[in-house]
Amino acid sequence: MLKGKTALVTGSTSGIGLGIAKALAAQGANIVLNGFGDVEGPKAEIAALGVQVTYHGADMSKPAEIAAMIEHAKTTFGSVDILVNNAGIQHVARVENFPIEKWDAIIAINMSSAFHATRLALPGMQAKNWGRIINVASVHGLVGSAEKSAYVAAKHGVVGLTKVTALENATTGVTCNAICPGWVLTPLVQKQVDAKAAAQGISNADATKQLLGEKEPSMQFTTPEELGALAVFFCSPAGDNIRGVAWNMDGGWTAQ
Give backbone dihedrals phi and psi of 84, rounded to 5 degrees, phi first: -115, 110
225-239 pLDDT per residue, tens:
999 999 999 999 999
User: Which residues are the active-site residues?
Assistant: 151
- 207-210 — which CB contacts under 8 Å span 24+ positions? none
Question: For residues 8 and 235, what is the distance between their CA atoms, to the nearest angstrom?
Answer: 13
24-82 pLDDT per residue, tens:
999 999 999 999 999 999 999 999 999 999 999 999 999 999 999 999 999 999 999 99
| 190 has pLDDT over 90 | no
Q: What is the per-residue pLDDT for 1?
A: 92
R_g over Cα of the chain: 18
15 phi-psi bin (left φ>0, alpha ψ -120 to 50, beta other): left
For the full predicted model, state whether its pTM sits above 0.85: yes
| 244 has pLDDT over 80 | yes
